[in-house]
């Protein structure tokens, strides 16, 4: 009986571990896909392991997750549509930076006892810098220099929105980890905004 119970406990622990790993990590690989699909397998809420946060921290993280998901999608559109090596490198760098931050956001929210975030089809109504479905469709249909120009202008707007959200977190939030993420977003995305303006050239 002890052996059976031990095996049952181990099997349950393995299942829980597997579900916990089904967060955002593998769900942002295809443009236009719902990045939240796999995270629906995670429990909708959990017992908080920390209390050092406020509503502003939660709002910031819940909004930044789909915001990042759309940036990853935009980055995945670049190969095959652009021949601009600088743009290809920038898009890859954005994906490398923001995909791990999505996992960090998931971990933080779960430690607050909040539901695992989802991209929810990128329904970012009211989020600064989010592209509409129509804008994304227009971008997907473009190629060559026209695509490059559209992508850079859209990503500048997208990054500007992310910086604004992060600045709000620094003003209103209290959680040290969420604020550290906000500072990283501000520094990295301001630098990329400057780079993208330079790539566009004089207006």
Amino acid 48: pLDDT: 74
Amino acid 81: pLDDT: 97
pTM score of the predicted model: 0.76
**Backbone torsions φ then ψ of 87, nearest 5 degrees:** -70, -40
For the chain, 203 residues long, give each residue's pLDDT as a single digit of tens. 433 333 433 333 333 333 333 333 333 333 443 454 333 333 445 677 889 999 999 999 999 999 999 999 999 999 999 999 999 999 999 999 999 999 999 999 999 999 988 876 555 557 899 999 999 999 999 999 999 999 999 999 999 999 999 999 999 999 999 999 999 999 999 999 999 999 999 86
Question: Nearest 5 degrees, angle CA 182-CA 27-CA 136?
Answer: 75
Question: How many of the other CB atoms lie within 10 Å of CB of 150?
Answer: 16
CA 133 to chain centre: 17
Q: How far is CA 84 from each of CA 50, 153, 193, rounded to the nearest angstrom?
A: 46, 15, 17
Domain 2-200, what fold?
Ferritin (1.20.1260)
**DSSP class per residue in 39-83:** GGGS-S----S-----HHHHHHHHHHHHHHHHHHHHHHHSBTTB-
Q: How far is CA 131 from each of CA 101, 116, 124, 186, rounded to the nearest angstrom?
A: 20, 23, 8, 19
Ordered by start, the domain boundaries in the chain are 2-200
């Amino acid at each position: 009986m002890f052996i059976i119970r031990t095996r049952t406990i181990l099997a349950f622990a393995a299942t829980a571990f597997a579900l916990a790993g089904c967060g955002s990590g593998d769900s942002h690989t295809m443009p236009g896909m719902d990045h939240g699909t796999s995270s629906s397998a995670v429990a909708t809420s959990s017992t908080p392991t920390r209390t050092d946060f406020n509503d502003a921290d939660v709002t910031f993280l819940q909004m930044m997750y789909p915001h990042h998901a759309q940036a990853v999608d935009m980055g995945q559109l670049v190969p095959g549509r652009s021949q601009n090596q600088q743009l290809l490198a920038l898009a890859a760098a954005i994906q490398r930076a923001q995909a791990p931050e999505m996992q960090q956001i998931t971990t933080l929210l779960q430690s607050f006892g909040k539901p695992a975030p989802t991209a929810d089809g990128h329904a970012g109504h009211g989020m600064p810098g989010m592209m509409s479905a129509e804008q994304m469709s227009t971008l997907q249909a473009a190629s060559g220099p026209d695509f490059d120009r559209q992508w850079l202008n859209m990503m500048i707007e997208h990054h500007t929105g992310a910086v604004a959200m992060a600045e709000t977190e620094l003003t209103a939030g209290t959680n040290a980890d969420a604020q550290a993420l906000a500072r990283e977003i501000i520094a990295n995305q301001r630098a990329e905004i400057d780079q993208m303006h330079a790539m566009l050239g004089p207006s």
